[in-house]
Amino acid sequence: MTSTPNPDLAKALREIGLRALAEGLADFVALATKRRLSPIQILEEIARIEALERARRSLERRQNRCKVGAFKPMADFDWSWPTAIDRTLVERALALGFVPSGDNIILVGAHGLGKTMILQNIAHQAVIEGHVALFVTAARLLNHLGACDSSRALELRLKRYAQVPILFIDELGYLSYDSRAADLLFEVVSRRHATRKPIVLSTNLAFKDWATVFPHATCTVALVDRLTHRADIIRITGESWRKKEAQERQNQPHD
């Protein structure tokens, strides 16, 4: 077996999709030569290398599609800070128990209590476990849908949000919207409810106050009904962690 592969071989390997082998061809040939691998062992090693590379690329694609952004891991979450939080429900959500059943997860609490951090960690775990997910703020989702200039464009965007296996919607309740935005969100929620695709959502408002988000909408009650029909609702109470950190910085002595 030669230890100096023909340069054209790497090109040929790329053309048939064996990109990982092509990139490390010289090292692979040297290893196979040193270990005197049999033909079967060589094929097994090629299969292993390509499987690892394809798993890496698949994870990278899912991460790029999810758009979860930078976040703090749950190891940094201070469970003692909220005055009330159901840790069992949070950990069940992080274990993705809601995915097979298509149930929703709804985090309810004031700002600064870690709702976004929890959502991001659930999204990250879903991606790691091989699920396709999309993380988006409520404002971005509704602006994206509302900006469509044709019924065809709107239908394509509705399908995107309705069909992604797991949809994460962050920060519903911080802004108010018109009745058309409410109807668009209701359409996304209804389609996902019908096909049992889960939504993981955070809001700073109790459900009874959602009328303030969509003050002129007639579908608010039906929207809440579909979201909560099959859902774990995780309520978090307490003081804002960000406010606590800001106060601590102000109280630090200055030189």
In this prediction, residue 248 carries a pLDDT of 65
Same domain, 92 and 46: no
Residue 240, domain extent: 74-244
Compute how many other C-beta atoms are within 10 angstroms of the C-beta atom of residue 47. 11
Residue 70's alpha-carbon distances to 17, 79, 158, in angstroms, are 32, 21, 26
Same domain, 107 and 222: yes
In a domain, 32, yes or no: yes
Can you give the pLDDT of all 255 residues of the chain as single tens digits? 445 667 789 999 999 999 999 999 999 999 999 999 999 999 999 999 999 999 898 989 999 999 999 999 999 999 999 999 999 999 999 999 999 999 999 999 999 999 999 999 999 999 999 999 999 999 999 999 999 999 999 999 999 999 999 999 999 999 999 999 999 999 999 999 999 999 999 999 999 999 999 998 999 999 999 999 999 999 999 999 877 666 666 666 665
Q: What are phi and psi of 140, to 5 degrees?
A: -65, -40
- Dihedral sign, Cα of residue 204, residue 93, residue 189, residue 64: positive
Per-residue DSSP letter, 84: B
pTM: predicted TM-score of the whole model, two decimal places: 0.84
Are the C-beta atoms of residues 34 and 26 closer than 8 Å to each other? no
Same domain, 206 and 240: yes
Same domain, 86 and 209: yes
In a domain, 249, yes or no: no
Burial degree of 166 (CB within 10 A; 0-12, 13-18, 19+): buried
